[in-house]
Each structure stands twice: as C-alpha cells, then as structure tokens.
Chains A and B, each alone.
Chain A
Amino acid sequence: MDSAFPYSLFPSFYDPGPPDRNPLDLGGWGKYEHVQPFSVEAGEQQEAELKWSALKSLTQESWEPLEPVAVPLLPAKTVCKFRPVSLEELTYTGRIMTAGERDEMTMGALNFTEQGKARQTAISVNHLRTFTERVKQRECPLSSGSKRARLLNLLLRESVFDIPPNLLAENIHEEMKIQRNKLLFDHSATGGALVYCPFSKGVHFEEGCLIYPGSESMNSLNFRKIKLGLDDDKMPKLSMKFKPVKFKLNGRIHQIDYSTVEEEAYVGVRSDYHCGVWKLSQEVNPSALQVVQMANMATCINVSPHVPGELVIASECGAAYLWILDKGLQKIRKETDNLYFNAQLPWRWCDFTAHPRVYMYADRTGLDLTDVRAGETCNQTLFKIGAAADCQRGERVILPKHLRDVNPYHYLITTQNSAYIVDERFPTVPVLKWVHMMESPPMFAQVACGTVRNRTNKIVLGSQRAQEVLLLQYSGGMQLPCQSFGPPQKLSSIYDMMQHLPVRLPHQHEVVAERLHSAGAGLATLYHCRGKKTLSVFQLSAVGDLFYQMLVRKNSSANGQSVSGASRARVGSNHEPNNSILSKEVQSINHSTEPRLEGAEDLAQGEGERLEVNSSLSGVDEQRVQSFIKQSTNKPSTPSCAALAMCRRWINSFLKKQKKFQSGSDMLHKHSVFSTKRLFSCKRFKKGKESNDAYKEVWDKMKAVMEKKEVLCHSTFPILDSVSVPDLVDPSMWRDELSERLTAAWEGKWSEWWAEKLGVNRDKKIQALRAKRRREKLARAGQRSGLSGSFTSSVSNLSDFSDFSGWSRSSVVDSEHGDYLSGTESNVLSNKSTEVKQSIGTVTEESRQEREVQSNVSVVEQSRTPMPEPILSQEIRLVGIPKERKRILQNYLAALEDHPPQPSEGDDGISWSLPLASSTQMSFAEPSQMASTCEMSWLSSSQSQLGPSQPKKKRARMGF
C-alpha cells in the first residue's frame, strides 16, 4: 500500500541544535552508516531468515551511458552577443596601481635622463583653462583616451569628479563582488527551466513533450514533442522530428514546472516578475491560460499534483500564494524573516505536500508545513538546518522538491553538501542523506521512479555553474525504510564533449569551450521502465543549448557489488562478461567498425584509444599499461559516429552563427593599423655591418643622406642602380578574359568581376536600380526647388559621385516626366534651367549676409553668364570649410576660371565636367587616367541608359 510507513527505521542519534563544527570533508565514500536486520518471512528457521541490510547498501542497479558524452539534441540556435565575464576576471587580486602611485612618477623629478618625459607630462595652462570652463557643461569635453585627458586627470585629481574616485572604486569592488557571487550562484534559476512531460508509454516507445525556453534571451517557450523508440539495432533512440509550438514571453524564463492531473498537463512558467500557466495534453496543443504579475521578484512556481489548475508561487518579499486559476491568488503565508535563524536571505520556495491543503514553505534555513485550513498559526517544522539533520555549518537549503509521483510524503532537499530525503510523517529527521560531493550546489533535481514494487528510485541532481550531473539511487519509504543503493555516479557533463571533437582553430576552440562551459539552466529526465529500460537525461544550458545522454540498464550484474560470503570467491559477476567481450573484440578490433552496431565495437574503440593514451605517457610500466587496459574498459570511451555527427553539427551551426554575428560586429573595427616602426630596426643594419663591408658602405651613405634631410633617390644615393619604371600597361589593350580578370583583380574588384561574369548579382543590380529610381522619384518633389543645392553638394562633397549621377539621372527622370506634360524635351529642359537659375538667385540672396563670401558673390552677380555659375554655387558651399583650405580652393577655382576648358558645343560636357570631378576626387592632383576612366565608365553607363536623349541633356547642363 502506498500509504504505509516503514515499520522499523534505521537507528540514528537525534540532536536538535545548531550544526557542529565542520568535520573533515571526506565525502560519502565507503560508509554503510547504519544497519538493521530484516527477517525474511519465507524461511522456516530464524538463522536462514535473518538478513542484515545497511542504510547505504552496496547493491545497485548498474546504469551505463550509451555514449560517453552528452550529445546535443538540437543545433545551436543562439549566439551570445557579448563575451560573458568570467569568474577569474572578477577575482583579480593583484595590486591595482593608480598612476599617482607609480614609482617612475615619483622618481621622475630626479631622473634627468628622462627629461623628455617632462614634455609628456606637462600641460598647457590654456588647455586647463578651457577645460575648467567647459567642465561645467555636462558633457565630457575630452575623449577619454586622449593624452590631454590623462594629464588633466593627474593634475586635478578628485576635484572634477561627481563621485569621488575612492567611493567609486569601492562601489565597483562591491559590484564586482556581487557579480562574482552571481556567477557562482544565481538563485533565480532554482528548479530549472526544462521539463519532460510524458504522454504515452508503450513497451518499446514513449512519447512526451519537452518544454524548454529558447531564443537569445531565453524568453520563448517551446513545447516540442519527442519520441523514444528503438532504432534498427534495437538500441533506444530519441527522435525530435516534430515542430515545436512556440510562445514569446516578455521576460527570461527561469523555471518551468508541470503536473499531470487527470491526463491534462498544467505547466507553470516563472520569469522575474511574471508567472504564467499553460495547459496541454497529448491531443491538444498547448494553450496559455493565465498570467499574473508580481510586485516582487518571483522565486518559485509549482503546479499542484492534486487538483487541476492550482499552483503555488512565492516571491522575494517572503509571501507565498495559492493560485487557483479563474479564482486568483490567495495568500498562504508571509514571513519577513527567515524561518529558523536570521540568515537575512530573500529567497523563498513553496510547494505542495501530500495533503492538498497543506503547503510547504521554505527558505534557506529550512522547510515548514503550513496548514491553511487552520489559519496562519498552524505551522510545523519539516526540516531545518541543524544538528538533527547532521548539517554542517554554513549549509543552506538550495532546492526543496516534493516527490509527488514517487512518494507524496517525501521531499528531496539539496544543500551545498548533501541531498536529503525527508518524510513529512516523521519531520525534522531525514530518512536518508547523501553527501553529494558536487562542486557547486545542485539546483536542479529530477526523481524518476519505476512502476514495480520495491523499485529503486533514481535521483538525478544537476548543478548550475559546473553543470555536473549526479545519479543517486534509493528505494523504500513505504513498507521498508529508505535505503540508498550504491555509490553516487557522475554522468558526463556537457563539457566532456570537447575532448572528442576534431581539432579546430584556437579561437574557434576557445569560443566553443566557452560556450560549453556556460552555466546550467535546467535538467529533465525521461525514465522508460518498460521493455528495455532507459534513463535519458536532458540538460539545458543558460545560453539555450539542449544536450542529452542516455543510460541503459545493465542487467547481468545487478547483484555485482554485493560481496558473497564464500571466501576467495570472486565478487561480482560483471567481470566475466567483460572478459568474454574483451576476447571477442580482439578479433574485431581490426575490422572497420561501424559503431553503434554492438557494445563490443564501441568497447574495441575505447580500448584502442586507451592504449594510445597510455603509450603516450612516457615511463609507464608496459605491463601495468597492459593490465590497466585489460581491466579498465567498462565503458565505451569514444562516441559513436552518429553522436559525433550530432556534435559536429552542433558545433558547425554554432560557429556559423558566431561568425555571422562577429562579421557584423567587426565592421566597426575594420581599420586596424599595423605598426611598421620596428620593421627595419637599427640593430639589423648593425648586424649586417659586422658581417659585410658592402653593408657598411650603404649604411654610411644612407646616414649621410638622411643627415642632409634629402630624399633617398638615385641622385642623392647613387649606389643604387636606377631601375627604369616599366611602361604603363593599358588594360584596354588586353581584351581577353584572363586579362580583364587580372585588371579587375588589380583594382580590387575581382569578386565583383566574377559576380558580373556569372550573373550572380543581376537580380541585385536590377533591384538596386529600381530602388534608386524610386528614391529619386520620391526625392524629386522636394528637391526641385533646391536643385542647385543638390548639385553644389555633389561637387563640394568630395567623393560623392552618386549624388552627382543622381542629379543627372533625376533630370532624365524629370525629362521623362516632362514627356507627359509637354511632349518636347528641349522645351522642358530649358524651362528647367531657368528654374535652376532662379533658385540660385535666391540662394545668393540668402548668403549675402555672409560677409566672407559677399565679395565673391557680388563678382558672380556682375558676371552673370551661364558658364561660371557652378563656381558661384561652389562658393556658397565654401562657408563650412576651414579658412586656410577655403583660400586654396578659391585660388584653384580662380585658376579654373582663368583657363576654362574649351568645350565645343557639339562635343559634350564631359571634358568640362572632368576637371571638376577629378579635382574633387583626386585632391587637386592632375587628372589621372584612373579617375578619368572611372568617370568615363560612369558616363558610358549613363549614356547607355540615356539613349537618344543624351546630347540634349548635356546641352542642358551647358546651359548653366
């Protein structure tokens, strides 16, 4: 019967009080702890019946992983947008030196050899004055990296800071400490955000729903059907073929809990300030039912296993509520202080108990049972940190869990050191205790129970930071007292995958390692106890990766660990099968292995690897190695091909995502500069001098030239033979494809050439053209009046060709447009030119106020010929240019005016526009071939588009 209480419990001392001094931390190895006899009723005689059984029994179900590592369940979906700060970085202990403390600074005054430094450390009073004037304005007057800022900082010290540096430093220290503690332990993830909800179980298959958060900020809730079946080799296999149902929430999901009541699963989801409920069943897709918002940070959500649609939630202020769907919240309890001693910790937890109206309320100091029927006073201690539970000092409750399906009277409680099973019928004294020996406290736990009586229940504990997974087994709690089975077993952690991966580039390796090291966020188990027994463990990491590992029950050696009474008898039978496999595999080792075929194959591989590992260790006794190999292969140590493929797939997907993201962020830092300062150092030449006289000569000459501050060329440095510059190659001479490609490559347009050639960018080009046209059309209306402005900007805006072309194109568009209105282009265009003139007039009117340009403007106004008008507009534009440069520009433009190009009316405006374009682009260098070709090509392309109307258009421009 389910409700039976063990008739005889294991003996133990009871000592209520604070915990003792911490004993030596030895872990829970090699201890029976307590023992009691059980008389087995079958036998006649007393002696045969009596069997002693220990609290920590040695017998155990032996579970072996199918793969030596946890395998990714899904390809990576997210990428971290920034590099997470590591624990080591936050725990720097070296002395942080401020500039003032630096030794060189104090020495500086006496060290005359470093007088040059004075220049570096001095700052002009003018700067100081402007700075102090500007410092009243809120924005920072200096860029932080500048030398001047550093110097000012040294000089002014604390006087200019809003927050005194000492205080600021203290606060930063504090913040770092908080961040570090958060990295070590973040209580918001307690309970875990991953659950597996089984729907139907058959002998060889099982179907259920995996509920997990996804996306970068872990705010999308995924419901995904998964199926456990057998593959062709009769090995259990998970299939994830179904599409997930997704819900987008507006907060990071911290905890997911579910309960199946009356064949409908209720799923509670907790984020920082919201809790929500979903309902699903095998047939019906999940649907959101209700959401509540909390004023304080929510710390817990649990779904009732008794009554459908009931949940409990707790928040940091210490309040716990019963949440009945459609009825709202009902306060169960509120405690402002901690339960058993003043630990001043805000974390609270609550859960259901065996009685639907009694609730468990917990904080870091212990657990309490609250009976809401009898009002708030009816509380009973269930567990408290203290000597009764044999706690250590500093131990705190990390995760309490009601073991609903396993035994409704039982609770699993984890602390930093131990895991306890507590029976609510016998409060305060744990019925079972393990020292779990995990590095970081177990924050996630799942307990799976078999269906048969006298089953062993499996506890899987998962920790947050180190992502360890531990398997514990126990039984009892009904007729028989609780007994643990076998020592704890560690399952492989996510990071173990690393050693089986192919070698990658160091930075990729680093990124992958960092990713695999990210904290845990949840743990789920799928225990299939019919047919071939399997235990699948799913792990969720804080960045949203899902991993799983599958364990299978090894049947032959269930009794393997009990020491039989007969002396000299080999204990345990699991060695024999091993040996037979070993002998078998010696033959099979040479065969090309198709892993997953048989356990033996995997074993063979493992053997090989081990051998390699050991032979690589120098100085290891050969015999020892042999014996070691012979004995120590219990497990396959290399993952199967399928598993490796999954791993590789995951890594590739992750690296692809990472790269994509990085290429985006690298755009910002593209212009890296290489220092060539030390490329030809003096030392090298000196070295050369020693070896060869010729070098010395060169060196001396060079030195001489340099002393004279002359340019090192043939005339000043005659030692070198003059090398004639090869003739310029005219690429237009070479018309074959290869040459064209080489030309393109020379100009850095190799990929574009190929794109052009293959027609890859056709669509893109067409689209770009269309978009451009559309844009221009849109811009037309507004630009019409300010056309001259657009033109001038195209000239002064030094390299901006597109605007220029845009202008000309827009005029074309306009002309097309004009077709509709009047029909004759020339007419329209001439109209247009007058319009432009007028607009320029207005601009000049406006700019007359500008004193600097005024004279020029008047000049322009006097000579109002069509020709110099562009210059006028140029001058208007000069307003924004620094004085010195303005002068140069003006000179240049004046020169242009003196020798205007002689365009023939019939010839086009190209030659006219050329100097303008080249002057702007090539910064007053003589118009080079290159620029002109560019110009040419642009013009030719525009020509092709202009078609027959082109000459007229040019004339229009001449009209200026």
Chain B
Amino acid sequence: MDKPCTLLVHFDKGSAAMANEIKADLEGSDVAAKVEAMKRAVMLLLNGETLPTLFITIVRYVLPSEDHTIQKLLLLYLEIIDKRDAAGRGLPEMILICQNLRNNLQHPNEYIRGVTLRFLCRLSEPEVLEPLVPSILDNLDHRHHFIRRHALSAISSIYRLPHGDQLIPDAPELVERALASEQDASARRNAFLMLCLCGQERAVAYLFSNAERVTEWPDLLQMAAVDLIRKVCRSPNRADKGRYIKIIISLLSSPSTAVVYECAGAIVSLSSAPTAVRAAANTYCQLLSSQSDNNVRLILLDRLNELRTSHRDVMVDVVMDVLRALASPNLDVKRKVLDLVLDLLTPRNVEEVVLYLKKEVVKTQSGELEKGGEYRQMLVQAIHSCAVEYPEVAGSVVHLLMDFLGDTNVAAAVDVVLFVREIIETNPKLRVSMIQRLSDTFYQIRASRVCSIALWILGEYSLSLAEVESAISTIKQCLGDLPFFTVSEEGDTTDSSKPAQPMVNSVTVSSRRPVVLADGTYATQSAATEAISTPSVTPGSFASTLNLRSLILSGDFFLAAVVACTLTKLVLRLEEVQPSKVEANKACTGALLVMTSILQLGLSSYLPQPIDNDSYDRIVLCVRLLCNTGDDVRKIWLKSCRQSFAKMLAEKQYRETEELKAKAQISHAQPDDLIDFYHLKSRRGMSQLELEDEVQDDLKAATGGFTKETDDANRLNRILQLTGFSDPVYAEAFVTVHHYDIVLDVTVINRTKETLQNLCLELATMGDLKLVDRPQNYTLAPESSKQIRANIKVSSTETGVIFGNIVYETSNVMERSVVVLNDIHIDIMDYISPATCADVTFRNMWAEFEWENKVAVNTVIQDEKEFLNHVIKSTNMKCLTPPSALDGECGFLAANLYAKSVFGEDALVNISIEKQVDGKLSGYIRIRSKTQGIALSLGDKITLKQKGGS
C-alpha cells in the first residue's frame, strides 16, 4: 500500500512560495512569519514537493522555538515527511528530532506533552521511538489526564508496531496497572482498548472482575467493552459465552443510546437464538421510536432489514413495532418502513398490518401532512402489494381506496385505479361491489388518465343488466347534456372562448411537447397525454361539475375516444343481457348520439385544435361497429381485451417470480465452490483477531486496503508499449484502473551502455485526469531496468488521454534528451457498469439530462436483436426493456439501456432502429447524461463499435 496520507489542505497554486523564502522566514525570529512559513512548508509537502533542504533549517531554527503553534505545526511537518529512504530504512537524520521530542515529552506544558504523544501514535520508526520510550512511560503517571490519555494511546500504537513488543515488553502489565487506578473516562477507554488489542486475556479479566459495575462505567468505556465482547466471542467454542451475554444484557439498559445500539448489534453476533435476536430487534425498535434523527432511523431500519434476511421468523413478531415508525414525517423513513414491513407479511399478521395502513391512509386525508399525496401513494402501493400477496385482505381495503380515485394527487389516484383494475380481475368475488362503488364515485374522478382506466374497468367488468345500465347512465351523466356546444355559442366566440383560452393553451403547450413513450420512442400524439394537465379548471362555468365533459371540452379527445369505446362495449354487452330489444336499441342510439356529438365538437372551430386523427378514427370505428355488429367483433370487444389483460397480469407475476427465483439462486453456492471450514482455515501470518474479522474487513475495505486480485493473464493484455524498441530507453506500462484512480506501472529499461542520469518520467493528462505525485528523478545504470509507478486521479467518467516523455541526461551529452511516449488512452468502459433503475426514474432522468449525443446507426448487422446485443456487449450496459417486449419480428426495435459509472453518474441510452426494405438497419442511438463527458465518450465508443464484426 502507498504511504498513508494523514491530512489534506487546500493549496492554491497561485500562492506558491519558493523554498528559500520559506527558509528565510523560518530562520527569522518573527513568530508569526515562522508560523506562516511552517504552514506553507506543510502545504508544499502535501502538494508533492520534497523540500529536502528544509529539514536541516527546521531542525536548527524551528525545533528550539517555544511557540505552541509552531510546535504543533512542526509535529504535522514531521508527520508528513518521508521518514524512510527508498529502500525502506529509516533516514539517519530522524535521530535529530529525538532530543526535541524527548524535551517535549518532559515539557511543563501538559498540552505540548499531549500532542507530542499523539504524534507518536502515528510514528512507526522504531529507531526514533526507542529512545523516547522511558519518557513516554513516565507520562503514564502524570497528574494531568490529557497526558495520560495520550500516553496510553501512544503505548498502544507502539506496542502494535512490528517488533513493538520489544520496545515496551511489559506494556500490557503497565497499562493494566494504569487502568486499575485510572479515573478519567477517556484514559480508561484508551487503556482498555490497548488491552483489547494487545493483551486480550487481561482485558477480559478486567471486564469480568468489574462485571457488576459495568453499568456504571462511562459510555466510552462501555463501548470499548462491547467491542471487546464482540471480538472475543468471534473465536469459536466459547464456553463462557453466557457471561458475556449477561454483561451485554445489562448494558442494554445503559443511558447512552450509542451503547445500546452497539449492544444490540453485539447480541446478534453472539448468538442466533431467537431470544437474542428478539432482544436485538426490540432494542432497535425502541431506538427507532425514541430517536428523532432521520439518519439514525434509516440506519436502524437497515439493521432491522439485515435481521430480517437472517431471522425472518423472529422479525415477524416485531412488525407492528416497526410500523409505528411511520409516524416519522420523513418520506424516506416511511418508504423504508413499508418496504421492510411488506417483506415481513405472514397470513397471521397481514390483517393487522393492513388495518394499520388503512388508518394511516385515513390520516393522510386530514391534509396536515406535507407531501400527504406522495405518502398516500406509497401507502396505496403498499396495500396493493399486500392485497396481491394475500387476496383475502383486498376486500377490506379496496373500498376505502376507491375513495381516493378523485385524489388531487394524480399519481396516487393512478395507483389506486391500477390497483382496482388488478383486484377486480384477480378477485372476482369483489367485482359486484367494486363496480357498484366505481359507478358511485366515478363523478369524483378528475384526472384524465384515471378516468380512462376507470372507464375501461366500467366497460369491461359491468356484466349484469343493472350494472351495464348504471354504467351507461353514469357516463352519460358525466358527459352532461348534449350537444357539447350550440351553434350560437360557436358564433359568439368572444363570450365563451375568452375564459376558455388560458386552459386550452396550457393543454396545447403540454401536448405539443414531444413525449417519450415507455419504450423510449418519441410520441407527439395525444395518446400520450399522461395526465399532465391538472384536471381542475374547465371551460365555461356550466360544465364545472361534470368531469368527462370538462375534460373533453378542454380538448382531450383521447379520453373522448375512450368514452366512445366504453360506450360501444357497454352497448354490445347490453345487447347480450337485455331481453328487451327496444331498450338495447335505445341505449345504442344514445351512445351513437354521444359519439357524433364528440365528432362534431372535434371538427368544429369551437376548440382551437381539432380532433387528432387517431381519436377520430377510433370514434368513427365505434360508430360503424354499433351500426353494424357481428360475432367476430363482439368476441374481440367483449373477450379478447379481458384475455390480454389477464395475460399481462400473468406475465407480470411470472416475471416477478422469475426474479425472485433468480435472486434465490444467487445466494446459493455453486456445487463446485470451495468451502471454507472455519476451524481448518490456515492461520499462518494472521493473528486470532484478524481471522474472519468482519469489522476489520469492513475497515480495510473502507480504507482501500483491499486490492482486487487481478489475474496475471488479464494484466498482460493491458500492457502498452510506450516507446520503440530502438529507442535508447524502452518503456512499457501496465494500466490498472481502480475505482478512483489509474495506476501506471511503467517499466523503463536503459538500452544503452551508458548511465542515464536524472531520468524522469514526465506525464501530462487530458480530460478529467490529474497526476497525484510529481515525477522523481532516477539514475539508471547501463542496461538495467526500473519500475516506476504513477498514480493518476480520475474524477469523472470520461475518456482521458495520458501523454508523456522520458527525459534523461547522459554524461557526455550536456543537454537533456527526450523520448516521446505513445499516448495512453483510458477507456470509459472501465468505469461504467450495468445497472438497473425503474422505468419512471429512467424517463425522469431522460427528461432532465441536458447532454444528448445522437448517433446514427450505421452497421453491417442485419438483425435488430443482434444489433442490440452487440451494442449492449460493447458498451457494458444493461437493457431495461423486458425481453418480452422485444419479442417478435416486426422490423422495429426500441430499447432502453442503462449503466452507472463508479462516480455515481448515470448513462442512459435509447436505441430505436428500423429494418429497411433492403435489409439494412437504420435509426438512431441516443445517449443522454448529466455531464458532457459521458455522452461524448460513450457516443465515440458506440460509433467505433457499432460497425459490428468484433
């Protein structure tokens, strides 16, 4: 691993100070100037300068300074300088600082002592530490707790160094003694932590000897104790587990919530017995209700979710406690609670849960909550999925939910209506009452989209004579008196069009906007008016209460077409169930009148835009149908719709179960997987603690300690030759792309018979790349080679180019020679990985993102599917469009692809292609992203790869 970096400070290049300037200030006696100079020196060091001459100046002029700030800055300086040479040996001049550190450790100012001890914690050079050990140990008994605290930490970190036990062989005894007499909470914690790490049995002994008093310990120490217990119990076959659990249980009543939280985590790791898990779950639930911070709540829910995956049976019991967290005003929390609860449903608790959810829904009606609509939508969705899983509860909720069809929150209303549609299909028992209810509440529906679905339901599921008749009358009622306008009104434009104008305008504006369909294609037809308009204001005061009328008068002819279809369907059904032919014909003519009125309205100049062709065709089709019916048509209208809907539901369910199955598959091991037997695992080179220590692993992962094992063969593929074979210096590089950085391992070989001096690998970058270190000079013996490593920071997904030179001097040629290197191209594909997102989010992002790159399709591939697969493969993206939607041979294909970069950027791609008559594919690939980089680089990539072949 690279040298650890302990601090970062923003450094403005503009204020770069020359080393000599700093030196002059350091040598002066002005304290303020010295402080500034030290700061600048530290910043320069952080910025990659080495400032080798400064060390002696600092030793001479800064070490003796009495000023506290200077002393602290000096410690920072010492912290960041290289204390080892290239071979890893300690630099001899480091001994120079020993005396000063020793003085500091005996300084009368307790804070100087303290900060020096703290600095020593970060020091790992035994040759520097060794002479200081006696002074450190002396500080253990200092009367000031600030010093004792840090002395204990220093001892701990020194003892943990390689060979640290030789520096302070009796450290655990000393610390144990100190711990026994220590009063300060922090110092005790540090001592206890030291024992945990270096002398576990001592720590355990201390814990047990104080088991009675653990509850009175300060919270810092309690935390350390919990930590110890976790560690100790990780080793198998602890016979005394009970004692630990007893301590943990007693700590659960600690006044510090942090300790309680930690304990709950510890219990689960100690035991998987239901009692223990229940205790943990209860603790989490308690915290969930007592902590008002959203962060805490969300993380607690994560913990509960973890418990759910491993101990679902226990978690089922606390489901009501979890539900109580719905009281939180935060939507994220609510969403998480609902997700968690939905996973915990059993036939036993579903009633109770749904009851609770129902109560919550009722609460949202009071309108006190902000974002009540969104919340209601979430609740509706939750109830929906409850009902899907346990159809028996649907009956108890569906009526309640139907009250929300007229909700002003369109999304919630849509959810409700979709729910109703699904339930009415899957739950035939409820059909009668639901149709009844729908007819009753239909007039409340305000949104066009909801209206059309509701109309479909009415048309499809009104079966009995009474139902059909009530449905027809409901629709007619909502349409109001016919015709929609009178001729006089038409002439008298000034009167009525004026108030109508604003509303109509808003609709036109929204409907003129190109709309993206679910499959990503553009649509300009009104078929896609997705209830964008708020269904409130209506033209003319006379129609204000009639929802269908006002919507149609506002120019929504798509809805008008739906009305026409529904009426047709109802009339066709009426003809089947109505014994009296007269009644049926009456209804038929009534329907025809409505349709013709709509057509008349559409073709008149009353509305600023006439009826669109699609709607017109549909209405005319309905008119024709009613005039001339046949069995085939009847079958299509009355059966096939229903069948295809049922098929869609089945498909959806099938996909869901497939996904579940796939998920379940993943968690299982492959038959030929290697099985790690915990007890047989090699312990070579590993301490007991590190073994299977997930905390450590977690920490290591967080600090970037894990580097993925790349197989060498793969590595060799990525070798880049940087210079020619006949150049005096040959160079080649491995390029390894990590998350946020690129590492170039450059091998430089001197091909001449001379020594190359001051050989320097100079790199420059283009794009969003930044060099981390400054290049260093090397001397290369004749025909020898050298490995140079260069780190390059990447901050966004973009294709980058690295240029470089190798510069060197030889003894006989005075001027420097330069070898120019091949450019290294960094591929965007290394950063992006396939990801999924919901349809809605995709479309939102598509609408939101500013950068679009449109690439015309130009390929030799003849088959649409094949082309799609090729693009998916070459761009490393995931196809969001379900395979079922891509089935069939129709000569068209539209699909959405999605990927995420390691920096969290989204890359959206839409492919729309069409097969030409000559068999070639034509169309466009559109790439959208938030930043220009992705759109451009991905576009380049696609242009390059789409030709196919490779």
Same complex: no
Interface residues of B (CB under 8 A from A): none
Interface residues of A (CB under 8 A from B): none
